[in-house]
Amino acid sequence: MQRLRFEFVVAASDKDPKSNILYITSITTEEGEKYELSEEYRNIIHHSELKKTDLYNKVKANIKRHDRRIGWVQLTEELKSVYSDEMGNIQFKG
């Protein structure tokens, strides 16, 4: 596993309907295995390592409310430790 595909969605905040929140809804491997994130870990605030990537910066700059963006991220050691276990299975260590 060299890279992962992340699906980003922007929606209204539950607390303030005028505010937008960026969510990650799913992670997909190169082999097509899809991992759906639970509601409690979808908010981007739980994904500090992913926020350091170029993909995040591009998505954040261009996505609007109700939009969906999908992009691939090359896995660094830091990203591997957060999004996979020692056997290479997809998981999120939030």
Which tokens sit at 92?
Answer: 């999120």
Which single residue is written with the structure tokens 């295995």? 33
The structure's pTM equals 0.90
Average pLDDT, the chain: 92
- Look at residue 92 and tell me whether its pLDDT is greater than 90: no
Which tokens sit at 94?
Answer: 């939030």
CB under 8 Å to 40, separation ≥6 — which residues?
94
- What residues pair up with 32 in beta bridges, in sequence order? none
Grade residue 1 by pLDDT with cuts at 50, 70 and 90.
low
Q: Round the CA-based radius of gyration of the chain to a whole number and report it.
A: 13
What per-residue confidence (pLDDT) applies to 24?
Answer: 97
Distance CA 64, CA 82 (A): 27
- Look at residue 88 and tell me whether its pLDDT is greater than 90: no
